[in-house]
Amino acid sequence: MPNTVFWFRRDLRLTDNPALLAAVSAAADDGVLALFVLDPMPLRAAGGPRVSHLVRSLRALDESLGGALLIRYGDPVEEVPRVAAAIGAEEVHIAADYGPYGRGRDQQVEKALTGHGVTLHRTGSPYAVAPGRVRKSDDSPYRVFTPYSKAWAAHGWRAPVAAPRAVSWLPAHDSAGPPSVPDLPDVDLPDAGEDAARERLSAFLDGPIRDYATERNRPDREGTSGLSVHLKYGELHPRTILAELARHRGVGADTLRNELCWRDFYADVLFHRPESLWESLDARVGGIRTDSGPRADERFTAWASGHTGYPIVDAGMRQLRAIGWMHNRVRMITASFLVKDLHLPWQRGAAYFLDRLVDGDYASNNHNWQWVAGTGTDAAPYVRVFNPVTQGKKFDPDGAYVRRWVPELAGVGGGAVHEPWTLPKPPDGYPKPIVDHAAERRETLARFDEVRA
């Protein structure tokens, strides 16, 4: 096998990725150099947890492979041709995702490689079923989740590949260090790397999966799978999870399988309709009146910084800012608040989430925002407006989640923390609600009526 360059996009997506692993293993067995050339990392403070996870993940991978990975951080359009030339590479493998979307950089790299005598391969899909594979009998894509999920289950998925064999690598000789990681808050971030991912999966299957269906909605407890970040960085392949789930029975296994199906479904939607990343799938609902201007900007800032006066919203936004992760239930609540209570476009919130989330995935994030906004594939016959107080009381009944992330409310006991404005002595330093939920809900319903008419 000739010398080979492997370019992985910002998301590694190597682990258990059959095509990529086969190519990497073959190259490694021949003693050729394999490389990771990455997009420039977002080094703003906002990306801190993400940069941290990526660097730790790469180091773990390097360690598991004997410490001989050549890792470069830089613009792939420049770095891939440079490295390919330096090692006389005849092949370049690109791990592409989402098909039409995201091909832009690939094409730029491809263009930069023309005339260098290299063969370009696109390999790998970080999904259980590759986007575009599950189709209706007339070959058209599914537009609704439930029929897709049935076809997805019927389609089935390959078994995950085995872990890579022991490999012998040429010594790394690159001097470029990793990007500096911005100062991170003093909280525990999840461990990075394949071993950590598999440990998390085992720990989840050993217990939490039993009550996953309900506990996953409790931000005050550790009831989620915690696997999203590992999926994001390719430390765990969905097929690995599905293979393990096959050995478990029950509603918990069914629920996680369904979540993985959502992930595949939204990637599939993006594959077929790449414009859906930032354009509303339902143009009519997407045309709803939104607010802009200085007052809207102030409200956005209050939302992003966690100062809306609605405790569950503020707790979520502060958790996101602190650790680059937010509980999924709270993601829905905070997203609903931005769109339905503050009347801001969903794209603004989606962009902020992508900027901050360590597990932020284009397809899942943006299509879930469309779901919340009512512009997505899910055509509910009613307008979903999350009530932040009801949701808080229901899913954080004791208020423990709010107290953990909103220190101004730490002294308020029990579920009353979800409506501090009703307390005889509202705590100092915590803002009053910046809008009245009941009034804004009516406003949203009225604006929906405008586009429905």
Partner DNA sequence: AGTATATTATC
Partner DNA sequence: ATAATATAC
Site residues, DNA (CB under 7 A): 145, 217, 258-259, 262, 328, 332, 381-387, 390-391, 438, 441
Which residue number, 259 or 359, has a Cβ lying nearer to DNA? 259
Quickly count: other Cβ atoms within 10 Å of residue 287's Cβ. 12
Secondary structure letter of residue 265 according to DSSP: H
For residue 384, the minimal CB distance to DNA (Å) is: 4
Three-point CA angle 12, 16, 20, nearest 5°: 65
Instruction: Decide whether 154 or 382 has the Cβ nearer to DNA.
Output: 382
Query: Which residues make Cβ contacts (< 8 Å) with residue 23, sequence separation at least 6?
Result: 4, 6, 93, 121, 123
Return the number of the residue (143 or 384) whose C-beta is nearest DNA: 384
Q: How far is the CB of 129 from DNA (least distance, A)?
A: 16
At residue 286, the 3 state secondary structure works out as helix
Burial of 73 (0-12, 13-18, 19+ CB in 10 A): buried
> Measured from the CB of residue 121, what is the shortest distance to DNA in angstroms?
34
Is the CB of 40 or the CB of 414 nearer to DNA? 414
Cβ at position 376, least distance to DNA in Å: 11
Which one, 158 or 442, has the nearer CB to DNA?
A: 442
Say how far apart CA 80 and CA 370 lie, in whole Å: 35
Specify the DSSP class assigned to residue 143.
-
Closest contact distance (angstroms) between CB of 348 and DNA is 21
CB of 148 to DNA, least distance (A): 11
159 vs 446 by CB, closer to DNA: 446
The residues that bridge with 119 in the sheet, in sequence order, are 91
Residues 354 and 360 sit within 8 Å (Cβ to Cβ): yes
CB 14 within 8 A of CB 8: yes
Query: Closer to DNA at the Cβ: 43 or 383?
Result: 383
| Residue located via tokens 């709270």 | 330
Minimum CB separation of residue 78 from DNA in Å reads 40
Q: Which distant-in-sequence residues (6+ apart) come within 8 Å of 220 by Cβ?
A: 395, 396, 397, 398, 399, 400, 401, 404
175 SS3 class: coil
CB 147 to DNA: min, Å: 14
Supply the minimum distance, in Å, between the C-beta of residue 75 and DNA: 36
Q: What is the sign of the dihedral through the CA atoms of 301, 305, 309 and 310?
A: positive
CB of 265 to DNA, least distance (A): 9
Q: Do 152 and 129 form a contact (C-beta atoms < 8 A)?
A: yes
Closest CA to 181 of 55, 36, 305: 55
d(CA 359, CA 325): 7
| Alpha carbons 201 and 224: distance in angstroms, whole number | 11
Q: How far is the CB of 217 from DNA (least distance, A)?
A: 7
Pair 13, 234: CB distance under 8 Å = yes
Amino acid identity, position 188: D
52 or 258, CB closer to DNA?
A: 258
243/142 Cα distance (integer angstroms)? 25
Q: Per DSSP, what are the bridge partners of residue 36? A: 71
Closer Cβ to DNA, 6 or 265, answer by number:
265
Report d(CA 224, CA 213) in Å as an integer: 9
Rounded to the nearest whole angstrom, what is the least distance from the CB of residue 261 to DNA in the complex? 8
In the complex with DNA, the residue whose CB is nearer, 1 or 416, is 416
Other beta carbons within 10 angstroms of residue 428's beta carbon come to 7
Nearer to DNA, 14 or 134 (CB): 134
**What does the chain come to in residues?**
453
| Closer of 438 and 453 to DNA (Cβ) | 438
